[in-house]
Amino acid sequence: MFGLNAKDARLYIIVLALLLFAPFLLNPFPEGSGLAQFNAGYPDMMQRLVIFGLFAVGFNILFGLTGYLSFGHAAFLGVGSYAGVWMFKLLTMNVIPALIISTLVAGLFSLLIGYISLRRSGIYFSILTLAFAQMCYSLAYSVLTPITGGETGLQLSLDDPRILGVQQTAQGNIPVPNLFGLPMNAATTLDVGAWSFTFSVGYYFAAFVFACAFYFTIRLFRSPFGLMLRAVKSNQSRMSYTGLNARPYTLAAFVISGMFAGLAGGLLVSMDPLAGAERMLWTASGEVVLMTILGGVGTLIGPILGAGVITYLEAIVSTINSTVLHNWFEALPDGLENFLVNIIYPFVGSGWHLTLGLVFVIVVCFLPGGIVEGGKRIGGLFTRKNKSSDSVKADSAAQPGPGE
């Protein structure tokens, strides 16, 4: 199927099904119930899940295949965001040119940074990428204010000199990003009993872009180029003894990874046309590292799972406050209710990073291969049980019965 082997084709079909049915899967609880707090099937959340999944998948091409750990990948996300907003301001509100220019500008920028950073490896490479990212953040925040908008960020205005399309709508508002006239914020709602499902144009467009990028990633992982990148990670010195120069391969992986980040940045501003310097901060680069490690470094599905967990915790757990907790435990005696609230409260709301930290520590200590390893272990338990039951049946069938 599509040039993929049976295993990869099954994985790709599963990812496509998850993307298609996300509005249903992420809204398991009826509206108005106490557990509706954990629903994540609204457009903004689903878009962030897909976009940061794309960001993590691109980062995994570099880190997972070559072993080069970059702490500055958020710079390419920010550059892509700025390039996308400038396309909206100067050319058209159609998202296609914005995504193309975001990807290309991030690719050129990553080529420059990668050419310099890849002269070193290991921790020195990581520090170099971190230094470049912090330089980009400082430039965007203060020095390049006319281009980036400084601390307020780059955003659209009513007097933008847009070549194609109108500067403002008939109602005097700023036009919204669109796909050949179809607004990204257009959505329809389906009510089924106590459930409400929202289908957004922006989400399904982002999901389509992600599906194309994920297919490219699978083909890259299985290609001879991907095999060369694995050889770089396995033993670069031995690779050089054979006469192969690893640097062009690592630079190509760095640029491809940067282009993925730029594409993710373009998608971010396609949903919300605002670019800020905070997207280049070192913490944003650290998040994508956590996403990849949490899901499973070097695996195809791992970065997607890691991005989903972290984005979900940030969007859902961070919104739980003491009032919500008291509503959950109001049926309990007052003493027990207050005790449970006091125990849980430090791990939710503004303290959601504590929950993320606990999850990360548990995964690193007990599942070094990330969530994917956990899934394989669970699957292995069922496989062993099935094999044991089959062997028992075979033994019983082989034993002679009474009178034989």
pLDDT score at 403: 47
CB-based contact 112:297 (threshold 8 Å): no
Residue of 139, 107, 116 lying closest to 280 (CA atoms)? 139
CA separation, residue 133 to residues 105, 109, 190, 311, 349 (Å): 15, 11, 43, 22, 29
pLDDT score at 39: 86
pLDDT score at 361: 87
Give Cβ neighbours of residue 74 (< 8 Å, ≥ 6 apart): 133, 261, 279, 280, 281, 282, 284, 285, 288
Q: What burial letters (b/e) apply to 18-32, b meaning 16+ CB within 10 Å?
A: bbeebbeebbeeeee
Residue of 86, 79, 58, 80 lying closest to 132 (CA atoms)? 79
CA separation, residue 355 to residues 22, 171, 193 (Å): 24, 45, 33
Q: What burial letters (b/e) apply to 256-289, b meaning 16+ CB within 10 Å?
A: bbbbbbbbbbbbbbbbbbebbbebbbbebbebbb
CA torsion through residues 165, 166, 170, 174, sign:
positive
Half-sphere exposure of residue 123, counting CA atoms within 13 Å on the CB side? 0
pLDDT score at 391: 59
pLDDT score at 363: 85
C-alpha span between 232 and 62 (Å, rounded): 11
User: CB burial class (10 A; 0-12, 13-18, 19+) of residue 389?
Assistant: exposed
C-alpha span between 358 and 39 (Å, rounded): 22
pLDDT score at 1: 64
Residue of 298, 219, 227 lying closest to 4 (CA atoms)? 219
Give Cβ neighbours of residue 338 (< 8 Å, ≥ 6 apart): none
Q: What are phi and psi of 42, to 5 degrees?
A: -100, 155
Note the residue count of the chain: 404
Tokens 């291969």 correspond to 369
For the whole model, what pTM was predicted? 0.90
Written as tens digits, the pLDDT of the chain (404 aa) is: 677 888 999 999 999 999 999 999 999 888 877 778 888 888 899 999 999 999 999 999 999 999 999 999 999 999 999 999 999 999 999 999 999 999 999 999 999 999 999 998 889 999 999 999 999 999 998 888 989 988 888 999 888 888 988 888 878 888 999 998 899 999 999 888 888 899 999 999 999 999 999 999 999 999 999 999 999 888 888 888 888 888 899 999 999 999 999 999 999 999 999 898 888 888 888 889 999 999 999 899 999 999 999 998 888 888 888 888 888 888 888 888 888 889 988 888 888 888 888 888 888 888 888 888 888 888 877 776 666 665 555 555 555 555 44
